[in-house]
Amino acid sequence: MNSAALIIAEVVPLVTPETTFDVPANVVFAVQAVVMIFAAIRVVTTKNIVHAALWLVVVLGGVGLNYILLQAEFVAVTQFLVYLGAVIVLFLFGVMLTRAPLGVSDDLDNNQKKIGIGVGVALLAVLSYALIESFGRSELTFAAYEGVAGPNTNGRTQAVSDAIFGQYLIPFEMLSLLLLAALIGAIVLARRD
């Protein structure tokens, strides 16, 4: 055994770490990303306001799917409940209650298109920079939670709840206060007297 092989034997750990390149997850992510981008473009280009809201269902559902791929089950279910079950329903409800003609309507565009594109690109740049700076080199280990709580997925839900009601308790409570303030504000605005 020469010295080069010895050095390699010292550096490389005896047990090779299990590969984290999870093929099905990556395939699903690719398909879902393409569908989401297409749907997001359709949200702003479609000529019918209800269709725009329904394309938004595809985008927000895709976000939920993304959370599932990241093994954040609780967050995914929250995404479905809050965004699809409540926010989109309120969109559709409000649109249908006021004005929602069938077929094509041409007055959905306004003159803020260029500002909108600018803001969108700036947001993309800032978010991309922040994400690559903080997570650029870390890999998701798909085996991370295995064996935490047996056959079910309780462990992941418990991890989220421990984080919210432990480390992030104060921000969580502040957000509740903010939402409460918004709720009271809405009631004040809606009251006639």
Partner 1 sequence: MTQAVLHPILGLELAYWQETTIRVLLGLVALLLLTGGAVYLYLFKFVSFMQSRLGPMEAGPYGSMQLLAEVGKWLQKEDIFTEDSDKFIFGIAPAVVLASTFLMFVVIPAGPNAVVADLGTGIYFVLAMSSLSVIGILMAGWASANKYALMGALRAGGQLIAYELPLILAVVGVVISAGSLNLQDIVAAQSDGAIFGWTGIGNPYILTQIVGFTIFLIAVQAELTQTPFDMPIAESELVAGYQVEYTGIRFLVYFIAEFATAVAFAAVASTLFLGGWQLPGAWGISDGAMNAIGPIMISTKAVLLVGVVFWVRFSLPRFREDQLQKLAWKVLIPLALANIVVTGVMKVVF
SS3 content of the chain, % helix, strand, coil (to 5): 70, 0, 30
Cβ 3 to partner 1 shortest distance, Å: 37
Of residues 135, 141, 148, 144, the one with CA closest to residue 19: 141
CA gyration radius for the chain?
A: 23
Of residues 116, 101, 112, 95, the one with CA closest to residue 48: 101
Closer residue to partner 1, CB minimum distance, 137 or 192? 192
Cβ 139 to partner 1 shortest distance, Å: 18
Tokens of 142: 């798909």
Closer residue to partner 1, CB minimum distance, 117 or 180? 180
Closer residue to partner 1, CB minimum distance, 86 or 130? 86
Query: In whole angstroms, what is the distance from residue 61 CA to residue 27 CA?
Result: 17
Cβ 188 to partner 1 shortest distance, Å: 17
Closer residue to partner 1, CB minimum distance, 63 or 92? 92
Asked if residues 60 and 88 have their Cβ atoms less than 8 Å apart, the reply is yes
Cβ 137 to partner 1 shortest distance, Å: 26
Q: Which residues bind partner 1 (CB under 8 A)?
A: 50-51, 54, 57, 73-74, 77-78, 80-81, 84-86, 88-90, 92-93, 96-97, 100, 102-103, 149, 151-158
